[in-house]
């Protein structure tokens, strides 16, 4: 294994842990504290990094090859876990006394899928579909000798910003009536995160080696520090800068990617047991954690008197056990295909 891949595994492992236990799990438990708030600021670029890293390892191949390999690696697990997500939602409705095959339920789930890219219990799967589109789009642009990296980045970010302005910020939508319900059909926000992702995939391919230039690192470090005094946050999936300056969020994300890669390349470019292992098997942890948390919380909801900290501890304990079991289970040869293996 090349050295640069070792530090990338470590960064990946760290950010997967961050995603599960700092970003997603507190939302399920309505739990927060000052430490979580600080780490959320520190690693707020984490989703951009996954696209950036994917661009760093880009290898020129035909569009057909990219479609074939990405379908197996990304779309197969996306579809498999989307089915799991739908079944979890159907079970939840059944436990609540509703008919899981009613027009109301099916139309609600259809709305989630069309408007939000995935079903609720498998929301994390959005990244797989978006990365598939990004990989194919970038490969196509390279195959037709499209203008330089700067043009791809500029065009991608402008389209992502326009989707944000129209769909997210100004809430433009078309009302769709199904049965007795009316659904807001927006320009899907994931079109924004796909172009946002394409920009960072291109950044990764462009800055693969240049990011380690000392002057560029120091400039990125300045913006990384500035974030703590003038904070701006981007919800990457929702392509939502949450009233912050959209393009300042982009700068902060790029700065974070460059800083973390430089730091890990220089001080953590060797196997760190837990981080390296999770980084190398990140697809398992990424796919499993969200539906498992959704499922567990279904059984914690009947106990409203549990404090948020106790819910967080219980959910952590059960989740860690299930993730360890899943780690072994999905490395079995005949199950690997479910996670893109």
Tens digits of pLDDT across the chain (341 residues): 444 489 999 999 999 999 999 999 999 988 888 999 999 999 999 999 999 999 999 999 999 999 999 999 999 999 999 999 888 888 888 877 777 777 777 877 777 787 778 888 888 999 999 999 999 999 999 999 877 899 999 999 999 999 998 887 776 666 666 666 666 666 788 899 999 999 999 999 999 999 999 999 999 999 999 999 999 999 999 999 988 999 999 999 999 999 999 999 999 889 998 999 999 999 999 999 999 999 888 888 778 788 999 999 999 999 999 999 999 999 888 889 999 87
Where helices occur in 43-75 by DSSP H, the ranges are 46-56, 63-70
Check if the beta carbon of residue 341 is closer than 8 Å to that of residue 281: no
Q: Is 125 exposed, middle or buried (0-12, 13-18, 19+ CB in 10 A)?
A: buried
pTM over 0.85: yes
Range of the structural domain that residue 8 is part of? 3-339
| Number of domains present in the structure of the chain | 1
Phi, psi of 229 (to 5 degrees): -105, -30
Give the dihedral sign, CA 54/12/291/339. positive
3-state secondary structure 146-204: CCCHHHHHHHHHHHHHHHHHHHHHCCCEEEEEECCEEEEEECCHHHHHHHHHHHHHHHH
Question: What are 113-116's contacts with CB under 8 Å, separation 24+?
Answer: 113/82, 114/185, 114/188, 115/183, 115/184, 115/185, 115/186, 115/188, 115/189, 116/189, 116/190
């Amino acid at each position: 294994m090349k050295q640069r891949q070792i530090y990338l595994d470590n960064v990946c492992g760290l950010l997967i842990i961050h995603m599960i236990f700092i970003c997603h799990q507190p939302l399920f438990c309505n739990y927060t504290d000052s430490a979580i708030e600080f780490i959320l600021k520190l690693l707020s670029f984490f989703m951009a990094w996954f696209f950036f890293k994917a661009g760093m390892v880009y290898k020129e191949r035909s569009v057909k090859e990219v479609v074939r390999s990405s379908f197996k690696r990304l779309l197969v697990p996306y579809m498999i876990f989307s089915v799991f997500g739908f079944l979890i939602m159907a079970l939840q409705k059944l436990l609540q006394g509703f008919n899981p095959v009613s027009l109301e339920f099916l139309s609600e789930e259809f709305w989630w899928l069309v408007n939000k890219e995935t079903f609720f219990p498998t929301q994390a799967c959005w990244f797989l579909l978006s990365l598939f589109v990004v990989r194919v789009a970038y490969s196509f642009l390279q195959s037709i000798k499209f203008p330089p990296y700067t043009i791809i980045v500029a065009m991608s970010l402008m389209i992502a910003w326009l989707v944000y302005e129209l769909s997210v910020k100004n809430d433009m939508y078309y009302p769709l009536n199904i049965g007795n319900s009316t659904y807001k059909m927006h320009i899907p926000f994931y079109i924004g995160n796909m172009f946002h992702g394409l920009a960072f995939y291109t950044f990764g391919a462009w800055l693969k080696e240049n990011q380690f230039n000392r002057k560029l690192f120091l400039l990125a470090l300045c913006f990384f520090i500035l974030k703590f005094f003038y904070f701006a946050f981007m919800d990457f999936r929702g392509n939502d800068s949450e009233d912050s300056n959209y393009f300042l969020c982009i700068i902060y994300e790029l700065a974070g990617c460059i800083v973390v890669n430089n730091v890990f390349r220089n001080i953590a470019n060797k196997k760190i047991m837990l981080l390296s292992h999770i980084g190398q098997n990140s697809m398992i942890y990424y796919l499993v954690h969200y539906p498992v948390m959704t499922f567990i919380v279904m059984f914690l909801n009947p106990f409203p008197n549990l404090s948020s900290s106790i819910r967080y501890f219980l959910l952590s304990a059960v989740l860690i056990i299930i993730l360890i079991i899943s780690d072994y289970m999905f490395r079995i040869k005949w199950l690997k295909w479910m996670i893109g293996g």
